[in-house]
């Protein structure tokens, strides 16, 4: 490949820190790249610089990223600097590069070079077969998904079955996890297959056990570049360290770019210690700090810096504004009375910004937990503001919510066959394909709903004893839950249903990282139900929410978790729910202690530094939990923000201690309801949300409804109003739920 002289601006675009990171080519280098400091530009320019100066040929540089998107971007930027596409690059994700290597050396782990990489479904099916063949395992108590999570953690730590020590072992499945892992790995080899975790595990093991292979790669790669080093897990760290620790110290040319202040993925195996011990792993390593931030204003950077300085486990750096228009408004900390007022505040400020010409796509709502999105989704729908949930499904589209809604639909309307089909074998009740076919055949023959057919079929011998008993218990349960709905209300009925049906137990037994979030979403569903007088009213509301416009319009408010926001930036960022137990997460603190607290603080730092111009943090004094209110304590992180960088807004939260104390949903309630409220219970503060019945309303008058927004009265029938709402069309509502627009 013939490379021309470097363009004159190819290094001139860099600031002194960035240029130092690009031109320090010999020996180990750690580039501590703060948020918004041009990390990608440095990494790609360094790659191109190695080629432009002749220090390496394209195939002599190993460049590792975490995502395919980052790899594509690096490839394109390098080609732009070179003026041509570089061929033969070793550039890609950890998994892609290890798969490429493993195909060269597959026989060393008993595989052939044409091995298959199994997807998640195939992995799970294979593991279930292994568990069944082992015998004596209660798969309800020890589901395959839980065992897969244990095995993946071992693989993330570079542990083959033979390397698992007693300290690393697991008590899963009555201390049989290690033997099941061993059987699973044997079966993968027999199938000439790997899972994704094997790609790294096998290559790390090959490099550890075969010095000749390692020496060959030492000769091949003159330079190693690593992106997002703070997110590496132990097996990734081991693989990199083996490749980088050349026997000749002069050839240990590894450059890792990362930010210890943005290490937020420990829940998926990332180890912040990897970046903190870089100098120990590579004696004589140089550290270059990128501290000029080109994204955010001075107050935003000051708030973030003051917060993250409270962490002890960091290498230390201080962001400073690099943009010319760095002056800006202070970070706003808004104190609100309750979570509903918080959602209204966010919606109103987005509406105001839109009227000023602010693009909706540059407004982001970043939440700590997925269940928080519901209240904001509903508020945005009410205001007619399009939105999208980034990195996840909208609240009512999530699988666990759809399952729960199907249960509730059957509870309300037993003839709902579509809903019944969804839940009759969820969780598993032993109804195989033949049992489901028998049920459907009886329903068609008798022209009766599936639920009625289920009652009938349990009286005969068409099913085996186990599924017949399970189905009978389900149908008896529905009869019981309908009675609870009549006597204690729909919130208690829903909580009882989800508990007694085994649905919540199914997710409690699930050991996957997503399971706790699914349980939180179910709790949030019960909270939402508390806003409605009946089950029918709630189901109607959800049907309305699900009928929102889903066209391809690009201008949408961005709604996501803080974890999903990493790497993104927006002009205006809302950071709601900064309360103890919610943020920092009580579950994280219970499991990880001080180490988890520091990661929660890093997550807060990531949230603040997503904002270019405006950052609005909010917390509420009270949150509704299953129809009742509970006090909320402001997050400790609010006290750690430097006063000179923030402005405080909103009323005092001291009134919150006047509320009757109830168990907090964030402190580890055993069931979906720590305390099941009866609909007759009335919180004294609820009066502020239920205005007195409206009087002297007239046709043609403008009114406001809390859920549907502004509208015009078309007709009045005693206490019922026919209203055409501006954003949601014609509705019939009770007059007590509207106010005159002039009074809002």
Q: Which residues contact 304 (CB under 8 A, 6 or more apart)?
A: 35, 296, 319, 605, 608, 609
Q: Which residues contact 54 (CB under 8 A, 6 or more apart)?
A: 3
* Residue 34 assigned to a binding site: yes
262 is catalytic: yes
Residue 444's alpha-carbon distances to 168, 437, 439, 449, 472, in angstroms, are: 55, 11, 9, 8, 20
Q: Which residues contact 385 (CB under 8 A, 6 or more apart)?
A: 347, 350, 351, 354, 360, 557
Q: Which residues contact 589 (CB under 8 A, 6 or more apart)?
A: 596, 597, 600
From 45, 262, 458, 572, the catalytic residue: 262
Q: Which of 517, 648, 521, 633 is nearest to 578 (CA)?
A: 633
From 176, 610, 623, 707, the catalytic residue: 610
**Residue 332's beta-bridge partner residues?**
616, 647
Q: Which residues contact 733 (CB under 8 A, 6 or more apart)?
A: 705, 708, 720, 721, 723
From 20, 40, 245, 413, the catalytic residue: 40
* Residue 38 assigned to a binding site: yes
Mapped onto helix, strand or coil, the DSSP state of residue 556 is coil
Q: Exposed, middle or buried by CB within 10 Å (0-12, 13-18, 19+), for 491?
A: buried
* Residue 357 assigned to a binding site: no
What's 742's DSSP letter?
A: G
- Other CB atoms within a 10 A radius of the CB of residue 360 amount to 21
From 17, 156, 228, 579, the catalytic residue: 228
Kindly give the residue spans of alpha helices, DSSP state H, lying in 83-109. Answer: 94-105
Query: Distance (Å, rounded) from C-alpha 218 to C-alpha 214?
Result: 6
From 156, 195, 227, 260, the catalytic residue: 227
Query: Distance (Å, rounded) from C-alpha 732 to C-alpha 111?
Result: 67
* Residue 86 assigned to a binding site: no
What's 295's DSSP letter?
A: S
- Cβ atoms of residues 478 and 458 within 8 Å: no
228 is catalytic: yes
* Residue 35 assigned to a binding site: yes
* Residue 110 assigned to a binding site: no
Query: Distance (Å, rounded) from C-alpha 208 to C-alpha 205?
Result: 5
Determine the length of the chain: 744
* Residue 173 assigned to a binding site: no
From 39, 155, 394, 612, the catalytic residue: 39
**Residue 30's beta-bridge partner residues?**
256, 287
**Whose structure tokens read 């009323």?**
651
Active site residues: 39-40, 227-228, 262, 610
Binding residue numbers: 33-40
Binding residue numbers for ATP: 33-40
């Amino acid at each position: 490949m013939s490379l021309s002289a470097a363009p004159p601006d190819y290094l001139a675009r860099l600031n002194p820190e960035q240029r130092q990171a690009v031109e320090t080519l010999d020996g180990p280098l750690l580039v501590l790249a703060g948020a918004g400091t041009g990390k990608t530009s440095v990494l790609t320019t360094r790659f191109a610089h190695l080629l432009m100066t002749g220090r390496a040929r394209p195939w002599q540089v190993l460049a590792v990223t975490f995502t395919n998107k980052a790899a594509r971007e690096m490839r394109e930027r390098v080609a732009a600097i070179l003026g041509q596409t570089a061929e033969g690059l070793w550039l890609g994700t950890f998994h892609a590069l290890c798969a490429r290597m493993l195909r060269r050396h597959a026989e060393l782990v008993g595989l052939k070079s044409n091995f298959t990489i199994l997807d998640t479904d195939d992995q799970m099916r294979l593991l279930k077969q292994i568990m069944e063949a082992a015998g004596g395992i209660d798969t309800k108590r020890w589901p395959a998904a839980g065992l897969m999570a244990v095995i993946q953690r071992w693989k993330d730590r570079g542990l083959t079955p033979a390397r698992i020590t007693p300290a690393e072992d697991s008590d899963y499945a009555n201390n049989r996890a290690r033997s099941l892992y061993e059987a699973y790995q044997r079966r993968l080899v027999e199938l000439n297959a790997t899972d994704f975790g094997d790609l790294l595990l096998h290559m790390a093991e090959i490099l550890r056990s075969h010095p000749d292979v390692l020496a060959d790669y030492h000769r091949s790669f003159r330079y190693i570049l690593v992106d997002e080093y703070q997110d590496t897990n132990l097996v990734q760290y081991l693989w990199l360290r083996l490749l980088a620790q050349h026997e000749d110290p002069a050839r240990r040319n590894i450059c890792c770019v990362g930010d210890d202040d943005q290490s937020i993925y420990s829940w998926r195996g990332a180890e912040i210690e990897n970046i903190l011990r870089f100098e120990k792993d590579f004696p004589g390593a140089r550290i270059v700090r990128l501290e000029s931030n080109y994204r955010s204003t001075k107050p935003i950077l000051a708030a973030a810096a003051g917060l993250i300085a409270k962490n002890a486990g960091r290498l230390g750096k201080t962001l400073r504004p690099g943009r010319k228009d760095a002056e800006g408004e202070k970070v706003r900390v808004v104190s609100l009375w309750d979570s509903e007022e918080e959602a209204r505040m966010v919606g109103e400020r987005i509406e105001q910004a839109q009227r000023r010409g602010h693009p909706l796509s540059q407004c982001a709502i970043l939440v700590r937990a997925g269940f928080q999105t519901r209240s904001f989704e509903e508020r945005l729908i009410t205001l007619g503001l399009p939105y999208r949930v980034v990195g996840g499904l909208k609240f009512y589209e999530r699988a666990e919510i759809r399952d729960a809604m199907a249960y509730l639909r059957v509870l309300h309307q037993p003839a709902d066959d579509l809903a019944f089909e969804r839940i009759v074998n969820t969780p598993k009740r032993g109804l195989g394909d033949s049992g489901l076919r028998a049920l459907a055949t009886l329903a068609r023959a008798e022209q009766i709903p599936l639920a009625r057919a289920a009652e009938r079929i349990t009286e005969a011998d068409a099913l085996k004893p186990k599924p017949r008993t399970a189905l009978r218990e389900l149908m008896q349960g529905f009869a019981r839950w309908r009675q609870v709905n009549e006597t204690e209300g729909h919130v208690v009925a829903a909580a009882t249903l989800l508990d007694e049906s085994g649905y919540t137990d199914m997710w409690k037994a699930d050991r996957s990282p997503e399971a706790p979030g699914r349980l939180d979403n179910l709790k949030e569903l019960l909270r939402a139900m508390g806003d409605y007088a009946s089950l029918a009213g709630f189901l109607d509301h959800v049907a309305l929410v699900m009928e929102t416009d889903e066209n391809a319009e690009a201008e949408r408010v961005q709604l996501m978790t803080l974890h999903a926001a990493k790497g993104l930036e927006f002009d205006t960022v809302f950071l709601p729910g900064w309360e103890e137990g919610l943020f920092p997460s009580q579950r994280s603190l219970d499991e990880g202690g001080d180490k988890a607290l520091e990661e929660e603080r890093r997550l807060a730092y990531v949230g603040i530094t997503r904002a270019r111009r405006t950052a609005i943090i909010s917390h509420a004094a009270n949150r509704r939990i299953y129809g009742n209110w509970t006090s909320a304590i402001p997050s400790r992180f609010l006290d750690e923000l430097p006063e000179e960088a923030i402005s405080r807004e909103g009323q005092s939260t001291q009134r919150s201690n006047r509320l009757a104390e109830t168990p907090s949903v964030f402190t580890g309630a055993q069931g979906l309801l720590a305390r099941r409220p009866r609909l007759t219970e009335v919180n004294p503060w609820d009066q502020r949300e239920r205005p007195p019945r409206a009087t002297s309303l007239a046709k043609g008058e403008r009114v406001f409804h809390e859920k549907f927004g502004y509208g015009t009265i078309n007709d009045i029938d005693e206490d019922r109003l026919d209203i055409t709402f501006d954003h949601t069309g014609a509705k019939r509502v009770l007059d007590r739920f509207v106010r005159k627009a002039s009074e809002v």
